[in-house]
Chains A and B, each alone.
Chain A
């Protein structure tokens, strides 16, 4: 095949990923007058955003008027154990309400308050009811609204130019295998159509990564097949950096039975709406797991916890609503102590807490999911739940304001693939808002880059030839391994050795194992043709998962403390010295490297939003002095 045979497209902006972040970025760039291609690995409208259940966090103050961006900012920082990129958390808290209202203007129909405003629900780590929601299918509402808004823009183009796709086109079922680079600058992307297996090339000066997460590297996960860390790997190979990769969120409540549904998410709304966690002895165990740093915010008796649902001013929150990392670790400890449920989880009960009708109204998808997949009626009995790999806090290191990937001109990243916003642990509901806030910012970041007047390099034939050769390599091999086998082993390895509780010896073992996978995937053989061949698809996804897992293990080994989504059995305490450090992963020859970088200090203005006694729990003495000194 020569370069001229390859399907070739020319755009201003290429967005990889059609979830909330990708679509919002595309809208922004299109509305600024640029031609945009949206690439999705699956069909349009199926992105993993659809799985988000509970809601979208935004301090609109519709339910409790005391809420505002400062409170949201504080909650986000606390949830991330102060490792978050301050600026991102600030922008996120400030802009989330506008993004929710904008969705409403584009046709989203959120549940309402009595006054007819957008209703907001309670969620773990959020001080006030803050999550705009549609029952427990908020992600579906977001993706469908964005999808329909894209269609609306296309309809305008159809009316004006006679072609709906002239300025904004969705390329469904296309996988990108390379960001095409010239002299360190992004010039386009290369990949294949899943349907036909044929190659496809996009030339574009701005490339936005919005590829989501990495969950499929783990065995028990709430992620779909798409979560294979494509954007993380693409950025690394393009010369970008990944930060905070050691922080992986295990959502405390995934389904655990039957085995085939293990990992599927049980929304946090179950707890937000009153559900409680109990062990095999019937004990509501979360009261035993309130960490010191949160003691003033969480109820220590069932009576107070229950009163909170009605009166939040005068009572502290139930400990079931602690941030996700705390709840996941607590469940893990209960099971390890032999107080688990028959299938190795704990009980999540809403049946004794709400009337059946109310459960069906507030949690319709959950009712449906358990009824149809597990034959369990959650209005009558408790659910069995356990932790499931849900979200990666780490990701591409970006400029907070423009989402530009650090070190790679022309490359941008938004949503789960970007790092920094959530620090060491993400609060529920902060993901959907993150998608929209930073999706939009990536869109205008790309627009600013296109308009900045700098000369953009031209794509060379040699670069294309390299990407072409890489894509075709698996077909040229014979006698190698089946990708499914290696994938299963990889998932087992990460699960066993880089999971919810980590220790030095196991992380080292994981790295050795990953080195072995790296060698083995070089010989992966694909059988069958190019047409819609999942084995072929997996061969490339697998390479991404291995490199991303390596970053997780390497950073996990380096960080000698426990914080948020990174728990070390050999270093069980949080250490203020480590709070100043972000671990940065980069491609290094065929492997990866991890280096420590000092995090930027929060401005005194933002630091002033916290009680100094609270900051003392996280900061070193020198940092505290500098913040108090008001020098900035």
Chain B
């Protein structure tokens, strides 16, 4: 049967809070979220934790476990040492609501700032034709479950509240990249606005976001770097610059 494990859980609200130590049973095959639920059911009925699917598909149970941004439902208990105290804290980049639940509304505000998909005007229902190979690039980014772990770990905002205003964060860079690479999207200038309006330039490619992504999306290599390169091409290539002026083309791809 189960073994006893030691948890150190941060409890509190936006005003104050502290760690509380608990001992709780853990059974074979369990994940951190199971153990937190057991604490909730047996010792702390009002312990707040956000979760939904418990299968790594919805991205709700984002917390920091021993300081690392992770999904509590995908962190198996057998990855810790037998006598290790497991520290669970709320996401650091977002304001605490209560215990392990944070206010992630920053992300929903940023989502509103990214211009939506813009299909060709003359395309009727069922008329779209796209090659599998062309949709796959965007599909990689659409695997995103919006757990916001990438946002949480990104040092541009993790310790710099002041940057939040001008920085959309990795989750929304892949959203821009996804639309930019969409075979039928008609909106031009997505890369340039990523740079000029959404703070792409502030990213210095440390790949922290890619490392924490539970969906293993190659955020840095496949979205951020290609967009940065193309922005640089367009901005500083004199021939392209001249071409864009002459033909009044706004697009860069």
A→B interface (CB under 8 Å): 42-46, 48, 50-51, 60, 97-98, 101-102, 104-107, 109-112, 115-117, 119, 134-135, 137, 140-141, 144, 148-149, 151-152, 154-155, 158, 164, 172, 195, 224-226, 257-261, 264-265, 365, 368-369, 372-374, 482-484, 488, 526-529, 531-536
Contact = CB atoms under 8 A, between A and B. Distances in A.
B48 A533 contact: yes
Contacts of A101: 125-126, 128
Given A60-B126, A112-B130, A140-B145, A365 B57 contact: yes
Contact of A226 (B46, B52, B123, B130): B52
Contacts of B28: 258-259
B54 A112 contact: no
Nearest to B138: A109
B54 A134 contact: no
Contact of A154 (B54, B56, B112, B145): B112
Contact of B40 (A102, A258, A261, A534): A534
Given A50-B53, A60-B126, A372 B46 contact: no
Contacts of A534: 40, 45-49
Contact of B132 (A111, A137, A261): A111
A484 B45 contact: yes
B81 to A, nearest CB: 18
Nearest to B108: A44
B55 A51 contact: yes
Contacts of B117: 106-107, 148, 152
Contacts of A195: 97-98, 101
A569 B142 CA distance: 46
A260 B139 contact: no
Contacts of B139: 109, 134-135
B74 interface: yes
Contacts of B128: 101, 104-105, 116
Interface in B28-67: 28-31, 34, 40-41, 45-60
B54 A264 contact: yes
Interface string B1-31: 0000000000001000000000000011111
Given A51-B57, A225-B51, A532 B98 contact: yes
Interface in B84-129: 97-99, 101, 104, 108, 111-112, 115-117, 119, 123, 125-126, 128-129
A532 B58 contact: no
Contacts of B54: 224, 261, 264
A133 to B, nearest CB: 11
24 contacts: A46-B52, A46-B58, A46-B60, A46-B146, A48-B53, A51-B55, A104-B128, A107-B116, A107-B182, A111-B132, A112-B130, A116-B130, A134-B139, A144-B142, A148-B111, A152-B117, A224-B54, A257-B29, A258-B28, A260-B29, A483-B45, A528-B45, A531-B98, A533-B45
The winner among A117, A158, A372, A484 for most chain B CB atoms within 10 A is A372
B101 A42 contact: no
Interface in B160-183: 179, 182
A115 B126 CA distance: 12
A128 to B, nearest CB: 17
B83 interface: no
Contact of A535 (B46, B58, B129, B142): B46
Contacts of A365: 57
Contacts of A536: 46
A232 to B, nearest CB: 19
Contact of B60 (A43, A258, A260): A43
B119 A105 contact: yes
A482 B76 CA distance: 28
Nearest to B35: A260
B205 interface: no
A535 B54 CA distance: 19
A60 B127 CA distance: 12
Contacts of A164: 112
A365 B29 CA distance: 19
B137 to A, nearest CB: 10
A109 B182 contact: yes
A141 B125 contact: no
Contacts of A257: 29
